[in-house]
Amino acid sequence: MKIVMVGSGYVGLVSGACFADFGHEVVCVDKVESKIAALKQGEIPIFEPGLSELVRSNSEAGRLSFTTDLAGPVARADAVFIAVGTPSRRGDGFADLSYVYAAAREIAQSLNGYTVIVTKSTVPVGTGDEVERIIRELRPDADFAVVSNPEFLREGAAIDDFKRPDRIVIGTDDLRAQALMADVYRPLYLNSAPILNTSRRTAELTKYAANAFLATKITFINEMADLCEQVGANVQDVARGMGLDNRIGSKFLHAGPGYGGSCFPKDTLALIKTAQDYGTPSRIVEAVVSVNDLRKRAMAKKVVAACGGSVRGKTIALLGLTFKPNTDDMRDAPSLSIVTALQDGGAIIRAFDPEGMEQAKAMLPSGVVYCNDAYECVDGAHAAVIVTEWNIFRALDFDRVKAAMAAPILVDLRNVYRAEQVRAKGFTYVDVGRGDMSAAKELAGGGEAA
Ligand SMILES: NC(=O)c1ccc[n+]([C@@H]2O[C@H](COP(=O)([O-])OP(=O)(O)OC[C@H]3O[C@@H](n4cnc5c(N)ncnc54)[C@H](O)[C@@H]3O)[C@@H](O)[C@H]2O)c1
């Protein structure tokens, strides 16, 4: 099949490369000329494990190509996917759909023969109706259908998620479009990935419901972590005890600094706005968003407490900046709030991230000292903070770290280490919700909890 991917970011590039790998003929389009020029040279503008090889092999096989001009490829396409960004709109948090609608207008100009236009971007309920209206208005003669096919891949594991999805959701009532989409995904359901055929609006909402539920799970366990710290319980054991119940499941029950990334923060906000607009406010998701917002700055307070109540003039080393490991994506990363809050408190920030430094430099406030590795980062620091659980932070040489630091304090916001192990090396160690009453009391000034 001939496929065009409009938008060659995390989702467009991964989906395009994977479709090409299934044997389809794929053209990836992007507005940003430097991105397309780099891709034509075989350079991958993002960090995603395995993507470079996949793009290279499929480009060499002639199944995957890149362009800034969608007209020709759209005219020949069976399916045109819209995979452009849908960031939060300033002011009200609703999804900014201007990129989606602009793409729809451009696609409309070039349609030729029956074409299925597929929104893979995460878009609020009713966006498909509007895309259809835009195209119909511009091209009353065109033979097309608009389908919702939300993407569920995770950055850092995107290729595997795309090739082995838990499910594929296809939203359309048009049987011709449904059949074409079945052909697009045929290589996957030979692997028995379940296909869910739904209405377009149902598919659009399913994506938001799934993301809001995952954000809720994370936020729930984070609140339990706070409670664990007060009552002397261990959140990892609580999560295990909960997660072994099949009705709950063990995933997304890791306490930490709050969710971030390019999807959960904006998608929860957009869902709240949609629910309000339709007169059925989603109180649970509203609570999740506000709890999560507060949590990021609370993590900075944890660092301040670990430093004895003030970080003024102190150097704090942040290990990891991206919102999770195995990506260079800094969008809405907890580190952004943590750095700002620590700088507000007068701290000097040193930072290291294995893949996210370039993007971090563009997004973090000025004054951050960027380092080349973990050991350079902790040099002279009064506290080190594990913000992202990259594998290279899982086996630090604590003797070396301690020798380099001005004070041996480790704040482990991802519960990577066991407390005894780090304390045995002479560190003050603070984690998230593992119920160390002695550490909690020590930091609170020794008093009994009320
Ligand atoms: N990143 C994820 O993990 C993920 C997962 C599932 C769903 N999504 C959703 O997929 C969508 C895309 O996300 P992303 O992370 O890939 O975004 P991204 O910002 O990485 O990529 C979007 C790309 O679209 C390009 N673009 C914008 N308008 C264009 C136009 N008119 N023509 C051609 N190119 C255009 C931009 O230049 C950019 O390269 C969003 O709606 C997002 O919510 C993302």
Res. 411 pLDDT band, cuts 50 70 90: very high
How far does the centroid of ligand 1 lie from the alpha carbon of residue 122, in Å?
Answer: 9
Residue from 252, 259, 321 nearest 296 by CA: 259
Whole-structure pTM value: 0.95
Give the integer Cα–Cα distance in Å for 367 and 350. Answer: 9
**What is the mean predicted confidence (pLDDT) over 36-42?**
96
Output the CA–CA distances (angstroms, integers) from residue 278 to 90, 265, 273, 289, in the order listed: 20, 21, 9, 19
- For the segment 74-131, what is each residue's pLDDT rounded down to a tens digit? 999 999 999 999 999 988 889 999 999 999 999 999 999 999 999 999 999 999 999 9
DSSP-based three-state secondary structure for 340? helix
15 pocket-lining for ligand 1 (C-beta < 6 Å): no
Res. 364 pLDDT band, cuts 50 70 90: very high
Judge whether 333 and 260 are in contact, CB under 8 Å.
yes
82 pocket-lining for ligand 1 (C-beta < 6 Å): no
How far does the centroid of ligand 1 lie from the alpha carbon of residue 314, in Å?
Answer: 39
- Phi and psi at residue 446, to the nearest 5°: 90, -5
Give the integer Cα–Cα distance in Å for 320 and 374. Answer: 9
Which ligand 1 atom is at minimum distance from the Cα of 120?
Answer: 10
Give the integer Cα–Cα distance in Å for 11 and 100. Answer: 14
Residues whose CB is less than 8 angstroms from the CB of residue 364 and which lie 6 or more positions away in sequence, other chains included:
321, 335, 336, 339, 351
18 as an active site residue: the answer is no
Is residue 360 scored above 90 in pLDDT? yes
- For the segment 257-298, what is each residue's pLDDT rounded down to a tens digit? 999 999 999 999 999 999 999 999 999 999 999 999 999 989
Give the integer Cα–Cα distance in Å for 74 and 132. Answer: 16
Copy the structure tokens of residue 384.
């080190």
- From atom 1 of ligand 1, which residue's Cα is the shortest distance away? 10
- From atom 41 of ligand 1, which residue's Cα is the shortest distance away? 121
Copy the structure tokens of residue 235.
């959140």
Output the CA–CA distances (angstroms, integers) from residue 265 to 66, 72, 334, 387, in the order listed: 30, 36, 11, 18
30 pocket-lining for ligand 1 (C-beta < 6 Å): yes
Is residue 188 scored above 50 in pLDDT? yes
Alpha carbons within 13 angstroms on the beta-carbon side of residue 88 total 19
- From atom 25 of ligand 1, which residue's Cα is the shortest distance away? 7
Q: Report the mean per-residue pLDDT for the chain.
A: 95
Give the integer Cα–Cα distance in Å for 94 and 87. Answer: 8
Judge whether 200 and 146 are in contact, CB under 8 Å.
yes
Catalytic residue among 18, 28, 228, 263: 263
